[in-house]
Structure 1
Amino acid sequence: MSQRVCIIGGGVIGLASAYALVRQGFEVTLVEAQDSLGSQTSFANGGQLSYRYVAPLADAGVPWQALGWMLKGDSPLKLRPRLDPAQWRWMAGFLGACRRSVNQRNGAHLLRLALLSQATLQGWREEDHLQGFDWRRNGKLVTFRESASFEHARHNLADRHRQQVLSAAECAALEPALGDVPFVGGIYTADEEVADCHGFCQQLAARLRASGRCEILLGQRVRAIRHAGDRVQAIDLGDYQLPVEHLVLAAGHRSADLRLPGLHLPLYPLKGYSLSVPIGPQHRAPEISLTDYNRKIVYARIGQQLRVAAMVDIVGFDPAPDPGRLALMRRQAAESFANAGDYAAAVEWAGMRPATPSGVPLIGATAYRNLWLNLGHGALGFTLACGSGQLLGELIGQRSTSIDMQGLTPRVA
Structure 2
Amino acid sequence: MKVLVLGGGVIGVTTAYYLARSGHEVELVERCDGPGKETSFANAGQVSPGYASPWAAPGVPLKALKWLAMRHGPLVVRPGVDPARWIWLFKMLRNCTADRYARNKARMVPLAEYSRDCLKQLRAETGLAYDERSRGTLQLFRTRKQFDGIARDVEVLRQFDVAYEALDRKGCVAAEPGLAGAKADFVGGLRLPGDETGDCHLFTTLLAQAAAAHGVTFSYDTDVQALMSDGRAVTGVVTSRGFREADAYVVALGSHSPTVLGPLGLKLPVYPVKGYSLTMPVAEEHAAPVSTVMDETYKTAITRLGTRIRVGGTAEIAGFDLGPRQSRRAALEHSFNQLFPAGGDTAKATFWCGLRPMTPDGPPVVGATPVEGLYLNTGHGTLGWTMACGSARVLADLIGGRTPEVDAGDLNLARYG
Q: TM-score interval w.r.t. the shorter chain?
A: over 0.9
Match of 1:133 in 2: 130
Output the CA distance in 1 between the equivalents of 2:3 and 2:152. 46
Match of 2:364 in 1: 361
Residues 317-372 of structure 1, C-alpha deviations (whole Å, 9 max, x = no match): 11121111112211331122111111100011101000110011110111111000
Count of residue correspondences: 409
**Contact conserved, 2:255 with 2:358, CA < 8 A, in 1?**
yes
**Contact conserved, 2:229 with 2:264, CA < 8 A, in 1?**
no
Q: Which runs of 5+ in 2 are unaligned?
A: none
Output the CA distance in 1 between the equivalents of 2:145 and 2:329. 28
**Contact conserved, 1:59 with 1:99, CA < 8 A, in 2?**
yes
Match of 1:30 in 2: 28
| 1:156 Cα offset (Å) | 4.7
Correspondence for 2:374 among 352, 359, 371: 371
Match of 1:229 in 2: 231
| 1:69 Cα offset (Å) | 1.7
Q: Which moved more, 1:90-99 or 1:68-77?
A: 68-77
| TM-score scaled by length of structure 2 | 0.95
Output the CA distance in 1 between the equivalents of 2:58 and 2:284. 45
Aligned residue identity for 1:141: L
Output the CA distance in 1 between the equivalents of 2:290 and 2:413. 38
Please give the secondary structure, in 2, of the residue aligned with 1:320: coil
**Contact conserved, 1:273 with 1:350, CA < 8 A, in 2?**
yes
| 1:282 Cα offset (Å) | 6.0
Say yes or no: does 1:153 pair with 2:155.
no
| TM-score scaled by length of structure 1 | 0.96
**Contact conserved, 2:222 with 2:241, CA < 8 A, in 1?**
no
Please give the secondary structure, in 2, of the residue aligned with 1:121: helix
Tell me the percent identity. Answer: 37
Output the CA distance in 2 between the equivalents of 1:156 and 1:216. 41
Cα RMSD over matched residues? 1.6
Output the CA distance in 1 between the equivalents of 2:326 and 2:395. 38
Please give the secondary structure, in 2, of the residue aligned with 1:157: helix
Output the CA distance in 2 between the equivalents of 1:105 and 1:269. 23
Output the CA distance in 1 between the equivalents of 2:170 and 2:285. 25
Please give the secondary structure, in 1, of the residue aligned with 2:288: coil
Output the CA distance in 1 between the equivalents of 2:268 and 2:195. 31
Match of 2:207 in 1: 204
Match of 1:346 in 2: 349
Please give the secondary structure, in 2, of the residue aligned with 1:360: coil
Output the CA distance in 2 between the equivalents of 1:53 and 1:267. 21
Match of 1:95 in 2: 93
**Contact conserved, 1:154 with 1:165, CA < 8 A, in 2?**
no
Q: Which aligned segments of 4 or more residues in structure 1 are displaced greater than 6 angstroms?
A: none
Residues 90-142 of structure 1, C-alpha deviations (whole Å, 9 max, x = no match): 1111011111110011001100100110111111112x233121111111111
Match of 2:256 in 1: 254
Say yes or no: does 1:178 pair with 2:179.
yes
Aligned residue identity for 2:356: R
Q: Which runs of 5+ in 1 are unaligned?
A: none
Residues 144-168 of structure 1, C-alpha deviations (whole Å, 9 max, x = no match): 1001111222575374661111111
Output the CA distance in 2 between the equivalents of 1:204 and 1:151. 41
Say yes or no: does 1:215 pair with 2:213.
no
Match of 1:72 in 2: 70
Correspondence for 1:273 among 265, 272, 276: 276
Please give the secondary structure, in 2, of the residue aligned with 1:223: strand
